[in-house]
A and B are shown apart, each in its own frame.
Chain A
């Protein structure tokens, strides 16, 4: 039985801030509040939550960049407070955005510098840098100043930097933020490849589809606490099993639907979205079949422009959990 990559027990972090000018008051902010989680080796674990939920603070405590106020963090069974140097050799981290690199240096020089900070032997540095530049699709631009890079290239360079010393555990804090869809898809593929190579990854993201696609386990956190935790499929069972029927209709045909939709409004949530000249009608129901039976003839009569049914997504689950509407 191998040790878990991450074991967190009752972790809390309180920041002190001051407010007022003449009468200064110290205020406590509980960024992380009694959080516990465990990540097994080789797993991709997602932390989801709204802005200010405590995701980044949690990651920074795990990456030894912040000291916990209370609780314990063990990384590969090492204490994150006492064994910082050994842990830092075994982890890599990349935070989203354009910060965290020397813009006036090239990608190659940035990597060379960080290779020295991780005390990589010269022969390893000479092999790893071209390897990572190739893997991240930065070959050919490696000698350009980083300040000339696009957000996607910067993000890939962040990932290359985080992987430079071949860490066993990688923390990725919102890695696809600000990247175009093609770049984000490439980055997700790189993350999948890392898992295939046996890395353990802790990922924070706002994008539910990304978490659904990538993560083995997910924790949804809010106000520094875990609200729900489990595999994506298990999380989807936490909210009522409902389907969403979406009917697209031209505004002039809306009266023809009234007889069907109006009685439903007292039984299920129904909302209308105006997308001139169309109206989207969303009906959330546990029993879509009888409603579909009534609506399908209208589709063949061209009263309805389109009709779709979809199951709950992780995003629906997330919204329900954050708004405390989970079953």
Chain B
């Protein structure tokens, strides 16, 4: 990779941070929404008489919810805003591919989304006195990396869908909550009907999350944990390939329909 690749990455993330992430709306998305999810989850858990801390499905679930919402809204909002502000055609009309620009943007959105998780964990420790002893730290770190990669691949795929047509924004908005329900952000997948569990299997976040939860509940590495990581990685790569395939199609499609801009 050339130096210009990294310079573009740095500049793109700088622009992204200042134009999209550092504003009240996005901050609310990253911090307030996951906090609400986490706190409501913790209160319900206490009200249900759970004496052991429900760290996995409330704190982590809330954090992941923030990361996912942040990704859906920022990555897709970027394309919509670029289209509205006339900058999408400037990006497409430059020698740099839209895929590369979206790659860096999505990466920053995900890294910014990590603050949701940090905020949720902080709230759990400071407000509810949750204890993180006895967890598999290495497993947690590896699982988080797989989750980040899964989110990045899905973000690229969704950004391409958004670039395809002005109308696809509505469809992507509709994905936000169903994805949280399907991937079991705040409850075990096992409570879903079997057919819905099969549907959720196509989303790599589910497998990354299962790995993360297993690492939080057990300090050992098990074959079951490795299988979750493998599934998360494999399905993420499938999304990446899909995004890559869609990228070429999108580039031609938007130049046929003239949907590079909207007024």
Contacts and interface: CB of A to CB of B under 8 A. Distances in A.
Contacts of A8: none
Nearest to A94: B90
A116 B7 contact: yes
Given A66-B260, A103-B85, A109-B15, 11 more contacts: A15-B258, A65-B89, A88-B94, A99-B87, A102-B85, A104-B19, A105-B19, A109-B18, A116-B96, A118-B94, A119-B4
Interface string B139-155: 00000000000000000
A112 B18 CA distance: 14
Interface in A118-167: 118-119, 121-122, 161
A102 B88 CA distance: 11
Q: Which 5 A-B pairs have the closest CB atoms?
A: A99-B86, A100-B86, A117-B94, A116-B11, A67-B255
Contact of A97 (B15, B86, B257): B86
B95 A95 contact: no
Interface string A215-237: 00000000000000000000000
Interface in A52-102: 57, 60, 63-67, 85, 88-89, 93, 95, 97, 99-102
Contact of A102 (B15, B95, B255, B260): B15
Contact of B87 (A63, A85, A100): A100
Contact of A88 (B4, B86, B95): B95
B94 to A, nearest CB: 4
B247 to A, nearest CB: 14
B256 interface: yes
A119 B8 contact: yes
Interface residues of A, number: 33
Contact of A100 (B12, B85, B95, B96): B85
B256 A65 contact: no
A105 B11 CA distance: 12
B252 A65 contact: no
Contacts, number: 82
B92 interface: yes
Contact of A114 (B4, B7, B92, B94): B94
B86 A117 contact: no
B253 to A, nearest CB: 9
A205 to B, nearest CB: 19
A112 B86 contact: no
B43 interface: no
A12 to B, nearest CB: 13
A154 to B, nearest CB: 11
A231 B25 CA distance: 54
B95 A112 contact: no
A268 interface: no
A104 B88 CA distance: 16
B91 interface: yes
B223 interface: no
B255 A117 contact: no
B93 A63 contact: yes
8 contacts: A63-B93, A67-B255, A67-B256, A85-B95, A97-B86, A102-B15, A116-B96, A118-B95
Nearest to A85: B95
A126 to B, nearest CB: 12
Nearest to B10: A116
Q: Name, among A64, A85, A95, A119, the residue most crowded by chain B CB atoms within 10 Å (CB to CB).
A: A119
Nearest to A102: B19
A104 to B, nearest CB: 5
Interface string B211-246: 000000000000000000000000000000000000
A65 B92 contact: yes
A161 B96 CA distance: 15
Nearest to B261: A99
A272 interface: no
Given A88-B94, A116-B11, A119-B8, A67 B252 contact: yes
B255 A65 contact: yes
B93 A65 contact: yes
Nearest to A63: B93
A100 B92 CA distance: 12
B15 A105 contact: yes
Contacts of A207: none
A116 B12 contact: yes
Contacts of B86: 95, 97, 99-100
A64 B94 CA distance: 10
A119 B87 contact: no
A105 B92 contact: no
Contacts of B8: 116-117, 119
Contacts of B7: 116, 122
Contacts of B94: 88, 114, 117-118
Interface string B16-35: 00110000000000000000
A34 B85 CA distance: 31
A6 to B, nearest CB: 16
A116 B92 CA distance: 14
